[in-house]
Amino acid sequence: MNLMNQDSYQTMLAEVQNFHDKHQLKKYGGEELNYRVALMAEELGEISACVTKGKSTELLAEECADLLILLMGTAIAKEFDLNQAFWNKMAKLEQRSSKMVDGRIRVSEFRD
């Protein structure tokens, strides 16, 4: 545990895989996409509640971690490389422009 690189995506993914294996998520429906989408929506709601109810940043971080773990688990379930998807998407985002929309900065393709 102490020797692993906690900044490594692969180390994090292996830990999530261990969690899936421990609870046999694949065998018992825990990797079904529609179920996982519901779980991710649930966690997003918890993140939202942290903000609207003025909860601590510590609790906000925990709820964000819940969502991240579910996202990584979804990458396991659907067998895609989320690390690569992250870098591919960041490369796209870096090409986009930003503008102010209703007083807030927005980065988008602004097609229309």
- Residues of this chain that bind Mg ion (CB under 5 A): 46, 63, 66
**Min dist. Cβ of residue 63 to Mg ion (A):** 5
**Min dist. Cβ of residue 96 to Mg ion (A):** 31
Which residue number, 15 or 66, has a Cβ lying nearer to Mg ion? 66
Identify any residues that bridge with 107 across adjacent strands, giving them in sequence order: 98
Nearest alpha-carbon partner for 37 in 85, 78, 87, 6: 78
Distance of CA 12 to the CA centre of its chain: 12
- Can you state the percent helix, strand and coil of the chain, rounding each to 5? 60, 10, 30
CB atoms < 10 A from the CB of 27, how many?
10
Which residue number, 31 or 63, has a Cβ lying nearer to Mg ion? 63
- Residue with nearest beta carbon to Mg ion: 66
**Min dist. Cβ of residue 68 to Mg ion (A):** 11
Which residue number, 12 or 83, has a Cβ lying nearer to Mg ion? 12
